[in-house]
Amino acid sequence: MITLKEALKLSADEIKAFRQMLKVKIEEKKELNAYIGMDESGEGIPLLIKDNIQVKTWSVTAGSKILQGYIAPYDATVITKLRACGIAPFGRANMDEFAMGSTTESSCYGKTLNPLNLECVPGGSSGGSAAAVAAGIAIAALGSDTGGSIRQPAAFCGIVGMKPTYGRVSRYGLGAYASSLDQIGPLTQNVEDAAILYDMISGYDPKDSTSVEMDYTPVSENLNPERKLRIAILPHFLNDASAAVKKAYDKTVAVLKTQGHEIIETELLDAKYDISAYYVTATAEASTNLARYDGIRYGTRQSGNNLEETFVKSRSEGFGEEVKRRILLGNFVLSSGYYDAYYVKAQKVRRLIKEDFERVFEKADLILSPVAPDTAYRAGSLEDPLQMYLSDMYTISVNLAGLPALSLPVAIAENGMPVGLQLIAKAFDEQTLFDGALGLENALKEK
């Protein structure tokens, strides 16, 4: 598969021929179930789009039955930006329903398979995006990251996935899961492509009240993989990681040392606080955001004998089990008598998590962390919801603190599956994030 950087140099005729070739490859690998729809009418370099990002005239369903039949009336801001750069939305990527999951098994379109091992999950919720890029049936893709939903599938599929700083990329046109956590970001074959795609979609947007208005300097034009950085490592964070992840982490630290980076050992708050604060915050916001899907204002209607029965039938039949679970949890923590005990307390813990990162960044430029406790799981192995929630332990703190992070493959485990680690940077310091990631990627290629 050609890279995004290479695709940007193609002529109009070459792009047309490439699109035809890509359709054939997608058909050959349809068993992956990474694509759930294609648009053959557009022109430009084809890009895969997660099914919760608005593309005008497309059916956009967030992987849910309740949005079947909905046609997007407008383009998300990121799509408008891509079109201006000669990029054309080409297909819809499968995903966990409403981005609530870590395996891409909860989609109403069926599960997506990991192209590196068809018995394993590709991660989630942007599993379709990651699987397609890894399988060579997408140049690159857009995903969304609420608690690791770009970085974890990227790690499971052996590609690069990047979550921008909260407020750097417009959320206008993104189907909301948890509004204070969601961010759109790139999934690509390499770090440089991620920087290019990140530049295309970044910048202030007055249509998004959470978008930050500040000067923007393109990252991809200023990449410097030779920079020497202060990189914090977290030895105690590996206590819950598998032997494969620990081995890859130690190997990566050794590579960083040989590159001349300063390695700083430090600690962050116990991940149990991250998990608690995240799942209270995310479910509370999800229950509010998904209240609009009632069969009247939005969503497929299942008629009842009265208004209340219509609401109940529409939501009961339209939402999957995991979405219902998170709505119930969210309503519980926001309910009278529990709001202060859970939601308010979670916001206080969230502030402590943010301050903890700020403390580390007083001495370090980047933090090296695992992405997931282990390599890709076998399909169906995370039937217990609590197991799935715990699998997010290394990624969710980044969303709670609003920081940028990038996952890249660093090793292959004994089971043949890739191990991904993430670099985390200060808010709005994507330049340092990409410089460090590109330097590490280059060094790993030389090994």
Q: What is the pLDDT of residues 65-121, one digit of tens each?
A: 999 999 999 999 999 999 999 999 999 999 999 999 999 999 999 999 999 999 999
**Average pLDDT rounded to a whole number, residues 1-25:** 96
Looking at the domain assignment, is residue 223 inside a domain? yes
Confidence label for 343 from pLDDT (cuts 50, 70 and 90): very high
pLDDT tens profile 241-272? 999 999 999 999 999 999 999 999 999 998 88
Peptide bond into 209 cis (omega under 30): no
The number of domains in the chain is 1
Q: Reply yes or no on whether the pLDDT at 412 is more than 90.
A: yes
Tokens representing 409 are 């493959």
Residue among 100, 94, 147 nearest 122 (CA): 94
Span of 137-141, 174-178, 295-299, 341-345 with lowest mean pLDDT:
295-299
What pLDDT score does 41 carry? 78
Q: Is residue 201 a contact partner of residue 233, using CB atoms and an 8 Å limit?
A: no
Q: Is residue 153 a contact partner of residue 122, using CB atoms and an 8 Å limit?
A: yes
What domain range is 228 assigned to?
Answer: 4-268+355-446
What pLDDT score does 358 carry? 97
What pLDDT score does 134 carry? 98
Instruction: Specify the CATH number for the domain of residue 217.
Output: 3.90.1300.10
* Sheet order of strands, 418-425 included: 35-38, 87-93, 45-50, 141-145, 183-188, 160-163, 405-412, 418-425, 366-370, 230-233, 262-265
Single-letter code of the amino acid located at 340: D
Looking at the domain assignment, is residue 317 inside a domain? no
Q: Reply yes or no on whether the pLDDT at 447 is more than 70.
A: no
Summary mean pLDDT of the chain: 95
Tokens representing 14 are 């070459």
Looking at the domain assignment, is residue 85 inside a domain? yes
Q: Please say if 50 is a catalytic residue.
A: yes
Looking at the domain assignment, is residue 313 inside a domain? no
CA 120 to chain centre: 18
Catalytic residue among 102, 106, 107, 125: 125
Residue among 428, 429, 431, 423 nearest 406 (CA): 423
Q: Is residue 60 a contact partner of residue 72, using CB atoms and an 8 Å limit?
A: yes
Of the chain, the percentage scoring pLDDT greater than 70 comes to 100
DSSP 300-365: -----SSHHHHHHHHHHHHS-HHHHHHHHHHHHHHSTTTIIIIIIHHHHHHHHHHHHHHHHHTT-S
Confidence label for 404 from pLDDT (cuts 50, 70 and 90): very high
Q: Please say if 220 is a catalytic residue.
A: no
Q: Please say if 209 is a catalytic residue.
A: no
Looking at the domain assignment, is residue 359 inside a domain? yes
What pLDDT score does 126 carry? 98
Q: Is residue 422 a contact partner of residue 370, using CB atoms and an 8 Å limit?
A: yes
pLDDT tens profile 208-245? 999 999 998 999 999 999 999 999 999 988 999 999 99
Instruction: Tell if the pTM clears 0.75, that is, is over it.
Output: yes
Question: Three-state secondary structure along 238-255?
Answer: HHHCCHHHHHHHHHHHHH
Looking at the domain assignment, is residue 188 inside a domain? yes
Catalytic residue among 106, 107, 126, 149: 149
